[in-house]
Amino acid sequence: MSSSKHKKLCTSKDQLAKDSSSTASTSRSSRTSKKAEQPLEPPPATPKVEDSNLPVFNNSPDIFTPTGKRIPKLAVVIQEWRAVASWKWKDASEDDCGICRSPFSACCNDCKYPGEECPIAVGKCSHTFHIHCIQKWLQSQQQQRQTCPMCRQEWNPTKTSGAADINNLD
């Protein structure tokens, strides 16, 4: 599991070295790819568990500027990490918030930390949003009927999901 993760890191870094055009980022990535040539041993501290719920670093989709230029990812090599637990919201029916387009496991675009500080709201129509996102939308349509952005039915919150499923990995 951990070796495949290292493979992933190497490929994305090699791509970075190939793609980056500006001199500054080329020099930085060539330095890091030198480091990557050393064979990486699986870190001993990594727990041996099924990796489906583990966070995978650096597999985020490529980001492009509007003119199609690829934005280089951070040239950071994760040498060793140890997962303690993973969590997700119990009531979220979808993966991403339909308003800010961020995953529910991350926070809305205005918050810094996911979790209790940026909870989710579930409507009677079963559509789910970050509570901050849906509040902003409801405030912006004061004079009109308050509707769900997804299905346009009247927005009735069931409850705020304060509960998260936590999987302990140890």
Partner 1 sequence: MAAPFPVSCARRIQKELTALHAEPVPGVTLKSGPDTLADKSTDINMIIKGAEGTIYNGEEFNLRFRMNERYPFESPEVVFQPPNIPLHPHIYSNGHICLSILGNDWSPALTISAVCLSIVSMLSSCKEKKRPPDDQFYIRTASMNPKATRWMYHDDNV
By the criterion CB under 8 A, which residues form the site for partner 1?
Answer: 61-69, 98-102, 108-110, 133, 136-137, 140, 147, 149-150, 152
Over its C-alpha atoms, the chain yields an Rg (Å, rounded) of 20
- Tell the burial category of 112 from Cβ atoms under 10 Å away from its Cβ (0-12, 13-18, 19+): exposed
Q: How far apart are CA 89 and CA 46, in angstroms?
A: 25
Tell me whether residue 79 or residue 135 sits nearer to partner 1 (CB atom).
Answer: 135
Tell me whether residue 92 or residue 100 sits nearer to partner 1 (CB atom).
Answer: 100
Tell me whether residue 26 or residue 147 sits nearer to partner 1 (CB atom).
Answer: 147
Q: How far apart are CA 141 and CA 136, in angstroms?
A: 9
Tell me whether residue 51 or residue 96 sits nearer to partner 1 (CB atom).
Answer: 96
Residue closest to 123 by CA, chosen among 154, 162, 145, 102:
154
Tell me whether residue 39 or residue 66 sits nearer to partner 1 (CB atom).
Answer: 66
The CB-of-131 to partner 1 minimum distance in angstroms stands at 14
Three-state DSSP class for residue 85:
strand
Q: Strand order of the sheet with strand 128-130? A: 128-130, 120-123, 157-161
The CB-of-13 to partner 1 minimum distance in angstroms stands at 20
The CB-of-76 to partner 1 minimum distance in angstroms stands at 20
The CB-of-102 to partner 1 minimum distance in angstroms stands at 8
The CB-of-101 to partner 1 minimum distance in angstroms stands at 4
Phi, psi of 103 (to 5 degrees): -65, 155
